[in-house]
Amino acid sequence: MSAPAGDVDNSVGEAGRLVELRQDDPAWLDFVAAAPGATVFHLPAWTRVVTDTYGYRAAAFAVRDDGGRLVAGVPVVHARRLGGRALVSLPFTDHCPPLAQDGASLTRLAADLARWSRREGVSVKVCGAVPSVAGWRETTVGVEHIVDLEQGAEALRKHFHETHRRRLRQAERSGLRARVGCTAEDVDAFYRLHVQTRCRQGVPVQPRRFFGALWQHLIAAGHGVVVLVETPPARPVAGVVVLGWNGIAIGKFQASDDAYWELRPNHLCYWAALRWSCETGHRRFSFGRSETRHVGLQQWKAGWGGEAVPLAYSLTGSSGSPFEGHGVLDAALSGVIKRSPTLVCRALGALLYRYAA
């Protein structure tokens, strides 16, 4: 599933051609480990979650300096959409901008990727911003709410919106219990809530094997946890999957049972996620992507005291939108899924998500 190491373009320039590396190449691993802006989404482990589920071929595209050291790069998969081949960094990922030693290196990477795209006739999509060089188009797809954790959990709580503080107190008095887990059974419990939530929203659901790979490559390896909120009989009613690395924790998936919403389990769930992130030394917590049209969700996330950072995706080599896949699927299938059994939601996700990268 990984691309063989080798030069992608022999004509880019004297100082550091664009190269395609395996994601387990020691040079790429060292580069990611040293990059201050890298998140768990830049780790090969996250890419393996995606490739194990959907069969994409993974690689890293990078440029070198005169001494042969990597100075900029981005993890990618070779995907096949309904409209043809594409290079994507990365499917099902909220934010995965290129990593670079400096601005000049980042600009060279962007220019070389655009040149490669034209020559190969393959579009390149990056879930992040790239420098404004010829061939790239950028679209703002929403915002990412980020909370500074360095003040500590209790100080952080004082900055929540009053509605959030009130509902959190309500949840704490309700008898619900939040716990942090990392077992395969915890992931199974979350997945049941996840399927229920996605069906209620009218959105296709990722296959069970996606969450199996998530547990195997990330959670079991110490790069994440599952926060579950349970009733006194230990019935899970809300959950969030938090991934963390390099001081940055990310709430990647959230789900809940709407029959228990009046007890405010989601507030208790995210409070536990924020406390865990503080206690384990993370400096920032990301609530993940909120699409532009989801104003209510953005307001809910803003209530936790975070900063709303515009989220831009970039595309070269195609006339389509950098965010074409998920919106099209959601709009076309929402009504069908809401009126159909759970099996339909899961089957559609297994069938279509591979082509929505």
Indicate the SS3 state at residue 344.
Answer: helix
Token pair 């389509």: residue: 320
CA 321 to chain centre: 19
* pLDDT value at residue 263: 98
* pLDDT value at residue 53: 93
Q: Which residues pair with 250 in a beta bridge?
A: 243, 286
* pLDDT value at residue 298: 95
Taking only the tens of pLDDT, the chain with its 357 residues reads 444 445 554 333 334 489 999 999 999 999 999 998 999 999 999 999 999 999 999 999 999 998 899 999 999 999 987 677 899 999 999 999 999 999 999 999 999 999 999 999 999 999 999 999 999 999 999 999 999 999 999 999 999 999 999 999 999 999 999 999 999 999 999 999 999 999 898 888 889 999 999 999 999 999 999 999 999 999 999 999 999 999 999 999 999 999 999 999 999 999 999 999 999 999 999 999 999 889 999 999 999 999 999 999 999 997 555 444 444 455 557 766 666 767 767 666 666 666 666
- Give the strand pairing for 248-256 and 236-245: antiparallel
**CATH (residue range 6-142+313-322):** 3.40.630.30
The token pair that represents 191 in the structure block:
């997945």
* pLDDT value at residue 7: 53
**pTM, whole model, 2 decimals?**
0.89
CB-CB contact of 285 with 277 (8 Å):
yes
Indicate the SS3 state at residue 96.
Answer: coil
Domain limits, the chain: 6-142+313-322, 150-282
Phi-psi region of 202 (alpha: psi -120 to 50; beta: other; left: phi over 0): left
Which three-class secondary structure string do you get for 97-126?
A: CCEECCHHHHHHHHHHHHHHHHHHCCEEEE
* Pick among 3.40.50.150, 3.40.50.300, 3.40.640.10, 3.40.630.30: CATH of 150-282: 3.40.630.30
CA 178 to chain centre: 24
Judge whether 6-142+313-322 and 150-282 match in fold: yes
Q: How far apart are CA 52 and CA 266, in angstroms?
A: 30
The token pair that represents 325 in the structure block:
């896949």
Nearest CA-CA partner of 62 in 120, 18, 12, 124: 18
What is the per-residue burial (b if ≥16 Cβ within 10 Å, else e) of 254-293?
bbbbeebeebbbbbbbbbbbbbbbbeeebebbbbbbbbee
